Amino acid sequence: MNGQFKKHFFWSNFCILAFTLLSSCTQADSNSQKTIIHPSTPVIDLDLPVSTIAILGTFHFVANVDPYKRKFDIDPEAPETQQELAQLRAQLKQYHPTKILVEYPVISQDYLDSLYQAYRQGKYTLSHYESMQIGFRLAAELDHEHIYAVDAQSPLDLEVEIDDWEGYAYQTGKGPKLKDINDRFDHFYYEMDSLKTTMSLPEYYAYLNSDSIILANDQQKLSGWIEIGAGDTYLGADLVTKDYRRNFRIYANILALPRTPNDRLLLIIGSSHTRILRHLFEDGPEFNYVPVEEYLQ
């Protein structure tokens, strides 16, 4: 009986040891695969051009195109501003971008490129747009031959015509909540707007591209307006869909660019786009997303 016990004890411990070694090997194999982009994707064996991409979320230097109308401006031509923008570009050069992408209509690519070529030849004075003050200057300093337009607008498709959105919100009992949310976001945007006049631009861009601000910039889409008409007209959801649709179009335009695995794309775009586009680039099998924040410290 004692011999049987020893035999059972030996085989039990042998099995445990074998299982432990097998698990360790499996874990090692798993760890060795972490460098592979999206190892679980069904298209892993295809020869897709997996390009690296980073997003520089920005405020608009000129056009007041956002729902929040900014109250604080900077003068892009001021010597101090130009010095700070040069510092920002120096930080971005550490990322070693091979292509600069800007928020400019993709249908106007030829015109954008003509302006860029004229600028490189000293025949064009840059306007105040961030696509030029950051994008053109950075691309030229890196001796890039082209700059790339990737923006596209999207239509607002509503199943019901409406003139008074706020009135409809109060009619459906969502008005007070909507007002509270919008008031707080208006205050948030006001505070963010003011900071660029009290911080240096490199400091401001580091803050603007931090995870907490990227998230906050996206949250107004997901509370308040989106539930207006829920269960009935879905006006709020369709309103928010317009923004998502535009970002999908931008993603598609970037996906369609001639790219190689050696490309390091830098997208310069309004900061409200960052959260959605980051999700697309993180999940897309043809991109390796890199947070720009690590280069802005």
- Is the pLDDT confidence value at 250 over 80? yes
110 and 14 belong to one structural domain: no
Q: What local confidence, expressed as pLDDT, does residue 27 receive?
A: 46
Is 84 domain-assigned?
yes
Same domain as 217, residue 105: yes
Angle (nearest 5°) at CA 225 between 270 and 215: 40
Task: Give the residue numbers spanning the domain of 107.
Answer: 50-297
Q: Are residues 56 and 128 in the same domain?
A: yes
Shared domain check, 85 and 25 = no
46 pLDDT exceeds 80? Answer: yes
Euclidean distance between CA atoms 265 and 96, whole angstroms: 9
Note whether 140 and 248 are same-domain residues. Answer: yes
Residue 41 lies in a domain: no
3-state class (DSSP) for residue 260: coil
Q: What pLDDT band is residue 47 in, cutting at 50, 70 and 90? A: confident
Q: Please determine, for residue 199, whether its predicted confidence score (pLDDT) is greater than 50.
A: yes
Q: 155 — phi, psi (to 5°)?
A: -75, 155
215: nearest Cα among 291, 139, 152: 291
> What's the pLDDT at 13?
46
Based on the fold, state whether residues 21 and 82 are members of the same structural domain: no
Q: Is residue 40 part of a domain?
A: no
CA distance 262 to 257: 14
Question: Residues 9, 149: one domain?
Answer: no
Whether the pLDDT of residue 187 is over 80: the answer is yes
Tell me whether residue 44 is in a domain: no
My answer on whether 26 and 166 are in the same domain is: no
- Of residues 39 and 147, more confidence is placed in 147
In this structure, are 137 and 172 located in the same domain?
Answer: yes
The total number of structural domains in the chain stands at 2
Q: How confident is the model at residue 65 (pLDDT cuts 50, 70, 90)?
A: low
Confidence check: pLDDT of 24 > 50 = no
Q: Where residue 44 falls among pLDDT bands split at 50, 70, 90? A: confident
Q: Residue 66: CB partners within 8 Å, gap ≥ 6?
A: 60, 270, 272
> Are 121 and 66 in a shared domain?
yes
pLDDT band at 14 (very low <50, low <70, confident <90, very high): very low
Ranking 158-162, 195-199, 207-211 by mean pLDDT, the lowest is: 158-162
* Residue 137 included in any domain: yes
pLDDT at position 63? 64
Both 118 and 31 in a single domain?
no
Domain annotation covers residue 42? no
**pLDDT per position as a tens digit, 217-236:** 999 999 999 999 999 999 99
Is there a single domain that holds both residue 87 and residue 1? no
Q: What is the pLDDT of residue 62?
A: 86
The verdict on residue 136 lying in a domain is: yes
Residue 45 inside a domain? The answer is no
